[in-house]
Amino acid sequence: MITLETPLKNLPRIGPKYVKNLKKLGIATVGDLLFHFPFRYDDYSKILPVSSSSRGDTVTVEGEIIESRTTRTWKRKMFLTEILLKDDSGTIRALWFNQPYLAENLTEGKKIRISGKITGDASGLYFSNPAWELASRAPTNTGRLVPVYPETEGVTSRWLRWQIQFLLKFNFRISDPVPEKILKKLNLPGTDKAINYIHFPDTLDHALVAQKRFAFEEMFLVQLKSLQIRSSWQKEQAVKIKFNEKLIKNFVKKLPFKLTDAQRKSAFEILKDLEKSRPMNRLLNGDVGSGKTVVAAVASLQAINKGYQVAIMAPTEVLARQHFDSFIKLFSSYKINIGLLTNSYKMITCHPELVSGSNNKMLKHLPASLCEALQAGVQHDTRTNLLKKIQSSQINLVIGTHALIQEDIRFKNLALIIVDEQHRFGVTQRAYLQQKSSEINDGLPEKIPHFLTMTATPIPRTLALAFFGNLDISILDEMPAERKKIITGIVNPVERNKTYEFIRAEIKKGRQCFIILPLVEESEILTEVKAAVQEYERLSREIFSDLKLGLIHGRLKADEKEKVMREFAGKKIDILVATPVVEVGIDIPNATAMIIEDADRFGLSQLHQFRGRIGRGKYQSYCFLFTSSNSSNVRARLKALVESEDGFKIAEKDLELRGPGEFFGTRQSGLPDIAMENLANVRLIQIAREEAQELLKSDPPLKNYPYLKKALQKFEQEIHLE
C-alpha cells in the first residue's frame, strides 16, 4: 500500500536516476513530492479553435497532426521538429528545437493538444516550443492552469506534473495540523482540498486560497513555536547582575567618543534586564555603524566585572575576528582575558599568566605574522588549551561564530550570550539560537544565560511586531554625531570613466575605494567567482594599472579573506573589488568611495548596508550607484537611497516597493517560499499570532491537537543553522 511515508524508490514508475535527482530537491517520500509546491502557474486555460487564435495570444488548441517532420540544421547542428495541426476551423504550425525524441511521438494522425504563445512571421502563425500532450489524456501540461515547479537537473516540471497528478488520485488522508475551527473561522480549505488546489487549480482563486492556507499554516507554526519558547524562557532563572554605576561611567568616560542618546538608552535597558532573575531576551536593532559593539561591550563589562563569563557570536569568522580586535581595544585598560575560538582562529589576549600557561616553546619559532600578533597583545593557542581556559574561567570573554553555541564547550559561569546576527534575522533561526543558548553548558546550576541579539538590518515597525512580538527591542535610531552625510549618486554607464577618474583622484589624496560587483544567483557561486576575477583583472589591467587592487569573494577561505581585509585596512590596497556575498564588515575609516555595479539588482536595504562601509571617517565620502536601467521605477527606487541615510526609512520604502518576501529574502527569513510570498499579507501574520496565542491559552500542552503537536516537532527538526 502506498502512503505518504512510502519512499519514492519503492514506486515502480520512478526510476533510480529520478530518485537520486529528487534528493537534491529534498524529496524522498510520496509526502515530500506532494508537498513540493509550484511557484507559479502558466495559464493555458483558454482553449480556442485554430482559426480564432491570433499572434501574441497564449492559448491551447487541439487537433490532429496532418504533417510532421524532424530535420537537422547542419549549420547549427540543431534538431528541428515541425508539425501541422488541423482542427475543424483550420491549421496551424508548431515548432520544437532540439528535442529529437519528439519525432517518434509527434507522428501523423495523432490527436494532440498544444499550449503556448502564438508567434508569427511572414509565413504565418505558429507555436514555438509549446507544451503538448495527447488529446486523450486529462489536461495536465496543457489546456488548464499548469503548475510550474522548482526544478533540478533531470527533473522537469513536466515530469513532476505527471507524477504528482498520479499520486493525487490516491486521495491520501493528510492529517491537518491546523485546528478545524480555525480553518472555518478564516474560511480556509483543509489540507486535503488545498493540496489538490495548489497543484492543479481549476481557477486562480483556488490556487491563491491554497497558497494562503499553507502560508497560514507556516506562520501559525512559527508563532506557536516562538510563543512556546517564550513561555519556557520565562520560567527559567538567570543570575542577577547588579548595575555598577561607577564602573560603567568610568568606561564610558574613557571612550574616544561620546555615546549617542540611543546608545545610552539601549545600554541602560540591557543593564536593567541583567539585574533581573528572569533571563533577558532582547534584540538590539541598529543600522550599520550605529555603534552596537560598544553597547554590547557595556553589558559584557558589567557581567565580567561581577565575575561572570560572556560569549559573543558573529555570523562569520571574519566578523568574529573583527569583534576580537574591537574588544581588545575597548577593554585594553581592564584585566579581561579574551579568547577567539573559530575554525580558523584559536587566539587569546596575552596577559602574562596566559602566556606562561601555554606552549612557550612555540613562541621562539613564530613566523613574522605571529610576532606581529603578539605585539598586538594576542597569541595563538590550541583548541584544547582554549577550552580548558574557558572551563576554568581564565578566559572571561569568548568570541566565536554561531557554531560556538552548538559545540560542547563547558563554561565555568556563563551569564550572558550576545549574538551578532548582522544581516540575518530569521525568526526560526533566532528561535533556534535562543533555544540552544539555554542548553549551553554555562556552569551555573539551575540558571540559563541572559540572551542579547543584535541585528544591523533595520526592521520596519509593521513587520517587527509580527516577527519579534515576543521580544524586548532596543533601537539605535541615531547615528554618531560627527558622521558626515555620504554623497550618493545614480550613474549611467556613459559616465563610468568619469567616475573612475574621480576615484583615482580620491586615491591620489590618500583615500581608498570599494567596488561592489553585481549580484549573481546564490546557486551560481562559481559563475560569480569567475565574473569577479574577470572584472578584477579588467580593472587591474585596463583602468587602474598604476594602483593596487585587491579581490575578495565567496570562495576565499576565512584566513584568505582576512588577509585581503587586513591589507586593505593597512592601506596596502587602494581599491577593494568585492562580491556581494562577502561581508566587508571591517571598519575602514580611510575608505571614502564606493561603486556599486548593477545597483538596480539589489534591494534598497542591502545597498544601504553596503554604503554603510564608507563614510566612517572624517573625510567626505561618495557612493556611486551604477545602473544601465532607464526604467523610471528603478530610478525612483534608487532615489530613495540618494535622498535618505536613515536605514529605518529606507527599509520602510524597500518594504513598500518590493513587498516583504523580497525584502527579507527567503534565505534570511528562514521561512518557506510560500510563507514568504504571503508575507505581503501582514494581517495574516497577525491573525496567525492571535490564533496561536488563544490556542496556547486554552490548551498549553496542545493535548487535544496531536497533529499540530507532531507538525511542530517536525518543524523544530527542520529549523537549524545553515
What is the binding site for ligand ADP (CB under 6 A)? 257-260, 263, 286, 288-294, 456, 480, 587, 616
Cβ-based nearer residue to ligand ADP, 377 or 480? 480
The helix, strand and coil proportions of the chain, stated in percent and rounded to the nearest 5, come to: 45, 20, 35
Triad 247, 253, 256: Cα angle to 5°: 130
Q: Are 591 and 458 in contact (CB under 8 A)?
A: no
Cβ-based nearer residue to ligand ADP, 217 or 287? 287
Closest distance between ligand ADP and the C-beta of residue 586, in Å?
Answer: 9
Task: Give CA–CA dist 449/278, Å, rounded.
Answer: 10
Q: What is the DSSP string of 1-33?
A: ---TT-BGGG-TTS-HHHHHHHHTTT--BHHHH
Closest distance between ligand ADP and the C-beta of residue 478, in Å?
Answer: 9
Closest distance between ligand ADP and the C-beta of residue 265, in Å?
Answer: 12
Closest distance between ligand ADP and the C-beta of residue 428, in Å?
Answer: 24
Closest distance between ligand ADP and the C-beta of residue 24, in Å?
Answer: 37
Cβ-based nearer residue to ligand ADP, 288 or 338? 288
- Indicate the pairing of strand 124-128 with strand 111-121: antiparallel
Cβ-based nearer residue to ligand ADP, 483 or 496? 483
Non-local (6+) Cβ contacts of 265 within 8 A are 474
Q: What is the DSSP string of 467-487?
A: HHTTSEEEEE----TTPPPPE
Total residues found in the chain within this entry: 722
Cβ-based nearer residue to ligand ADP, 64 or 587? 587
Residue 632, CA atoms < 13 Å, CB-side half-sphere: 0
Cβ neighbours of 572 (radius 10 Å): 11
**Coil vs helix vs strand at 632:** helix
Task: Give CA–CA dist 213/198, Å, rounded.
Answer: 10
Cβ-based nearer residue to ligand ADP, 188 or 295? 295
Which run of H or of E encompasses 145? strand 145-148
The x, y and z cell numbers of residue 512, run together, are 581608498
Closest distance between ligand ADP and the C-beta of residue 324, in Å?
Answer: 13
Q: Strand ranges (DSSP E) for 525-628?
A: 549-552, 575-578, 591-596, 622-626
Closest distance between ligand ADP and the C-beta of residue 259, in Å?
Answer: 5
Residue identified by cell 535610531 is 477
The x, y and z cell numbers of residue 295, run together, are 553597547
> Taking the chain, what is the end-to-end CA distance rounded to the nearest angstrom?
36
Query: Which backbone phi and psi does 135 adopt, to 5 degrees?
Result: -65, -25
Triad 200, 203, 204: Cα angle to 5°: 95
Cβ-based nearer residue to ligand ADP, 164 or 328? 328
Among 217, 412, 250, which Cα is nearest to 331's? Answer: 250
Cβ-based nearer residue to ligand ADP, 34 or 262? 262
Non-local (6+) Cβ contacts of 383 within 8 A are 341, 346
Residue 141, CA atoms < 13 Å, CB-side half-sphere: 20
Task: Give CA–CA dist 520/8, Å, rounded.
Answer: 33
Cβ-based nearer residue to ligand ADP, 92 or 614? 614
Closest distance between ligand ADP and the C-beta of residue 329, in Å?
Answer: 9
Cβ-based nearer residue to ligand ADP, 98 or 620? 620
Closest distance between ligand ADP and the C-beta of residue 293, in Å?
Answer: 3
Closest distance between ligand ADP and the C-beta of residue 320, in Å?
Answer: 13
Cβ-based nearer residue to ligand ADP, 284 or 655? 284
Q: Which amino acid would we find at residue 705? A: Y
Which run of H or of E encompasses 117? strand 111-121
Closest distance between ligand ADP and the C-beta of residue 235, in Å?
Answer: 32
Cβ-based nearer residue to ligand ADP, 225 or 402? 402
Closest distance between ligand ADP and the C-beta of residue 471, in Å?
Answer: 18
Closest distance between ligand ADP and the C-beta of residue 596, in Å?
Answer: 18
Task: Give CA–CA dist 288/458, Å, rounded.
Answer: 9
Q: Are 603 and 665 in contact (CB under 8 A)?
A: yes
Q: Report the residue number whose CB is nearest to ligand ADP.
A: 291
Task: Give CA–CA dist 586/613, Å, rounded.
Answer: 8
Cβ-based nearer residue to ligand ADP, 255 or 636? 255
Closest distance between ligand ADP and the C-beta of residue 121, in Å?
Answer: 57
Query: Distance of CA 590 to CAs 251, 318, 486, 578, Å?
Result: 27, 19, 14, 17
Residue identified by cell 577567539 is 340
Q: Are 216 and 178 in contact (CB under 8 A)?
A: yes
Cβ-based nearer residue to ligand ADP, 131 or 418? 418
**Coil vs helix vs strand at 256:** coil
Residue 378's DSSP bridge partners are 349
The x, y and z cell numbers of residue 690, run together, are 492571535
Closest distance between ligand ADP and the C-beta of residue 588, in Å?
Answer: 10
Query: Which backbone phi and psi does 74 adopt, to 5 degrees?
Result: -70, -35
Closest distance between ligand ADP and the C-beta of residue 326, in Å?
Answer: 7
Helix 558-569 × helix 317-330 angle, to 10°? 50
Q: Are 311 and 418 in contact (CB under 8 A)?
A: yes
Q: Which amino acid would we find at residue 411? A: F
Cβ-based nearer residue to ligand ADP, 94 or 294? 294
Task: Give CA–CA dist 621/513, Å, rounded.
Answer: 10
Cβ-based nearer residue to ligand ADP, 109 or 256? 256
Cβ-based nearer residue to ligand ADP, 116 or 286? 286
Closest distance between ligand ADP and the C-beta of residue 375, in Å?
Answer: 22
Cβ-based nearer residue to ligand ADP, 569 or 685? 569
Closest distance between ligand ADP and the C-beta of residue 243, in Å?
Answer: 20
